[in-house]
Amino acid sequence: MNRLNQASAAVDRACLLVAKLALGGMFLTVLLQIWARYGFDYPFSWTEELARYLMVWAGLLGATCAFRRRLDPTITTLPANARQWQQRIGLTMLFLTVVIFLVPILYHSFFGPGLNVERGFLWRSSNRISPGLGLNMALVGSIVPLSAAIILLHLMARILARDNRL
């Protein structure tokens, strides 16, 4: 196993752990919200917002784990006995599709029009504070470029491992 594949596996383990913690936190937060609303007739103002942010983090980190495990949605699959050139074409199409989708996400996370950093998604988010928790929205939104970069890492590890399976 090459170093990139080892790094991909280590990042995957960390993502899975954080996704599990986020799902557990979301569950407990919603449970607390229900208990406060119907038990005390006094719902907390911050629980819905926290559950929503945890859901976003869990979902995007879970997507990175699904991609590494090849559990992501596919349009078509190649049979196991497909010729090597067919597998290479399929892997090339996967590579191009993922790169075409994720590179603009990464670009616009950091840069706006004309390579203006101040018009990028994270910079604009850093000027906003969440109403219920008082969190900087760049912290919440940072999962978008982070998950895109992690999926690209998994893609590179898959290609360099010469694993032609889709």
Each residue's pLDDT tens digit, 101-134: 999 999 999 999 998 999 999 999 999 999 989 9
Tell me what pLDDT residue 82 has: 82
Say how far apart CA 156 and CA 52 lie, in whole Å: 31
- Closest by Cα among 127, 25, 135, 17 to 65: 17
**3-class SS of residue 71:** coil
Residue 163 binned pLDDT confidence (cut-offs 50, 70, 90): low
Using an 8 Å Cβ cutoff, are 34 and 52 in contact?
no
Each residue's pLDDT tens digit, 52-103: 999 999 999 999 999 999 888 776 677 778 888 888 888 888 899 999 999 9
Using an 8 Å Cβ cutoff, are 78 and 88 in contact?
no
Using an 8 Å Cβ cutoff, are 151 and 98 in contact?
yes
Using an 8 Å Cβ cutoff, are 33 and 43 in contact?
yes
Give residues with Cβ within 8 angstroms of 128, minimum separation 6.
136, 137
Tell me what pLDDT residue 73 has: 79
Residue 29 CA from chain centroid, whole number: 21
Q: Model pTM?
A: 0.89
Tell me what pLDDT residue 144 has: 98
Q: How far is CA 18 from CA 46, 59, 62, 91, 144, in A?
A: 21, 11, 9, 29, 15
